[in-house]
Structure 1
Amino acid sequence: MQGICVQRHPTCKKLNKNLIPRYNNFRWTMTVGLLISILLSNTPVWAERPACGVNFRTSVNESPPLYFPPEAGGTPRGITIDIIEELKKRTGCEFTVTSMNRSRTAHSLQYSSIDLALLDSRNITYDKYAKFILLRPSARKFLVNLKNPPANPPSVQELMNNPKYKFILQPGSRIFFKPDEVTKLEKEKRLITMPNLPQCFKKLKDTENAVFASQGTLITYYLGDHPEFTLVDDKENVFESGAYYVPRKGIQAGIALVEKALAEIAKDGTLNKIVKKYQRVPK
C-alpha cells in the first residue's frame, strides 16, 4: 500500500485526503480478520462436526444422581442427562431417552429395542447382548448400618466373611459382586433383594448390620443424605463404567462419533464437572 505523505505541501494534503480513508479501511479489515481468526482458533473441534444422522434409542439408569425424573412442567436432569446434552453438541446425534432399571435395560439390549445404554457398570449380562464403551473406572463402595460404628470401619473382607452382615440389593445389582462373592452370599442366605432403590435404602436404614454396595458416584451421593451410615471403600475391586450399544446397520458412523465424544468428555474434565455438580455434602 502506498505510504501517507507527512510533508505540508499542497500535493501531500491532496494525497493524504485520498489515502487516509483507504488506510483506515485497510486497518479495520485487518482488525476484523484478526478477531475472526482468534474466535475460530478457540472454537472446539466438535463444533465443526456435521450432524451424524442417527437418533439413538437410549436407556439411562433410573437411579439418582444418574437420573432425576422431571417435575411438573420441567425436564429430566442428572449426570446421564448432562452427558447426553454434551453428546448432542459434540456429535450432532439425537437421543430419545427412557429411564429404566437394570433388568429392563438387559431385556431391551437383548431384543434390540434400544440402541444405547448410558451410564452403567460393565457386567457379564449386558456383555451377552451389546458392545461396551469405556468412560472411566469406578471404585466399588459400601454403606453399612452399624448401631455403634467403630473407630475404624470394617474391611471388605470382614463384610464378606462375617455372617452378621446382610447385603441389600435391587434387581440387577449383582454386577457389583464377584462371582465367588455371590456364590458365598447366596449359600449363606445373606442377600436381600428389594424392588427398587428407595426400598433398598429404607431396608438399609431399618436393618442393623445391613450393607448396600454400588459404584462410588452413587454411594457418595447417598452418603450426603445419610451420614449415619458407615462408608467402606473397596481399594482392590474397580469396575469399568461406560455405555453399551447394540450393533445394527445404519448407526455405526454415529457410534464412532459417540465413542470419540465420550473419550473427550472424560479427558477434558467435563465428566468430573458434571459428576461434581450432583454430589451432596454430608449434612
Structure 2
Amino acid sequence: MQGNCAHTHPTCKKLNKPEIPRYNNFMWTAAAGLLISILFLNTSAWAERPSCGVNFRTSVNESPPLYFPPDAGGKPRGITIDIIEELKKRTGCEFTVTSMNRSRTAHSLKYSTIDLALLDSRNITYDKYAKFILLRPSVRKFLVNLKTPPPTPPTVQELMNNPKFKFIIQPGSLIFFKQEEATQLENQKRLITMPNLPQCFKKLKETENAVFASQGTLINYYLGDHPGLTLVEDKENVFDSGAYYVPRKGIQAGIALIEKALAEIAKDGTLNKIVEKYQRLPK
C-alpha cells in the first residue's frame, strides 16, 4: 500500500515528504565553488602585488625629454613620467608629481618638502641632503659651440684647462662635474647660469666657445636639433643616473620597493625602450 501510494490519497499525506530538486543542490555546489575560485584568484593577485602604502611627493626635471608639460586637457609625458608609470605597476606606490628646475629640487630636498627626485645624475649638491638610488651608470658628454670645428674634437682636459671655454649650467647645482672641476670653474669665473635646459641650449647656440655637459641621453636628444655643435665624449669618468630620496619615517619599505623596481627596469630593457621613444635623429 505504501509503496503504491498516490500523493493525493489521504493516507499518504504523512508518508510523502517534499522532494528537493536535485538541480538546486548542484547549483549551490557550483556557486560555492565559483566563490572559492574568485577568492583564491584575488588572493593570489593581492599576494603578487607589493604592498607599498606610500604616496611619494616626487619632483621631476621640468625640461624635455625628461618631462613635457601637458597640452590643454592632456597629460604630461616624457622619460620620467614613463618611468613613474612603470614604478606604479611594479611597486603599488603612488606618486604626486611636480616638475621643477634643479635649483628648486635642491631646495626641496634640503627642506624635505619632497620625498623623491626622479630622474637625475648623482651630484655633489643633492648628496648633501638626500640618499641616492642607482638606476644605471651614465656616460658624460659635452656639446661645444666652435666657430670652426677642428678635425679632432678637443679633449675633456683641454676644455677644462683652456680659460676661453665657458661652461653653461643650470641653477642650484654643478651637475656632471667632479669636485675639483667645479672648484676650478667657479674660481676662474667660467660658469654661465641659465634657468632651465632649453635656455641652456639656446645660450649654447648663441655663444662661441660655450660648453654644456650632461649625460648621454640629454646630449643625444639636443644634438638632434643642433648637429653643428661639436660632441666631446668623456671616456674616463662615468656619472651614475638614478633617483634621490629624503629618509623619513614610514617610507623605507616603499623605498626598498622602488630601488628593486628601478634595478629591474634597467635590467629587463624597459629603460632602453623608454629612452628610445623620446630620442630625436639629427636634422
For Structure 1 versus Structure 2, the TM-score category normalised by the shorter chain is: 0.7 to 0.9
**Matched residues in 2 for 1:96 and 1:51: separation?**
18
Letter in 1 for 2:228: E
8 Å CA contact 1:173, 1:214 repeated in 2: no
Unaligned runs of 5+ residues in structure 2 are 1-40
Letter in 2 for 1:181: E
Question: CA offset at residue 48 of structure 1?
Answer: 2.2
Letter in 1 for 2:166: K
Matched, 1:120 2:135: no
Question: CA offset at residue 47 of structure 1?
Answer: 9.2
Question: CA offset at residue 46 of structure 1?
Answer: 11
Secondary structure of the residue aligned to 2:192 is strand
TM-score between both structures, scaled by the size of structure 2 = 0.81
In 2 relative to 1, CA 255–46 (structure 1 residues): closer, same or farther, beyond 3 Å? Answer: farther
Match of residue 153 from structure 1: 153
Greater helix content: 1
The percent identity for this pair of structures is 88
**Matched residues in 1 for 2:68 and 2:196: separation?**
14
Matched, 1:163 2:163: yes
Match of residue 275 from structure 1: 275
8 Å CA contact 1:53, 1:254 repeated in 2: yes
CA RMSD of aligned residues (A): 1.8
**Matched residues in 1 for 2:106 and 2:162: separation?**
32
**Matched residues in 1 for 2:186 and 2:126: separation?**
22
**Matched residues in 2 for 1:185 and 1:248: separation?**
35
8 Å CA contact 1:58, 1:114 repeated in 2: yes
**Matched residues in 2 for 1:173 and 1:105: separation?**
10
Matched, 1:48 2:48: yes
In 2 relative to 1, CA 162–195 (structure 1 residues): closer, same or farther, beyond 3 Å? Answer: same
Match of residue 58 from structure 1: 58
Letter in 2 for 1:64: P
Cα deviation per residue 1:211-260 (whole Å; 9 max; x = unaligned)? 11111111111001110111100111111111111111211111111111
Match of residue 86 from structure 2: 86
Secondary structure of the residue aligned to 2:175 is helix
Match of residue 31 from structure 1: none
Letter in 1 for 2:60: V
Question: CA offset at residue 51 of structure 1?
Answer: 4.0
8 Å CA contact 1:59, 1:98 repeated in 2: yes
Match of residue 33 from structure 1: none
**Matched residues in 1 for 2:236 and 2:93: separation?**
37
**Matched residues in 2 for 1:238 and 1:228: separation?**
25
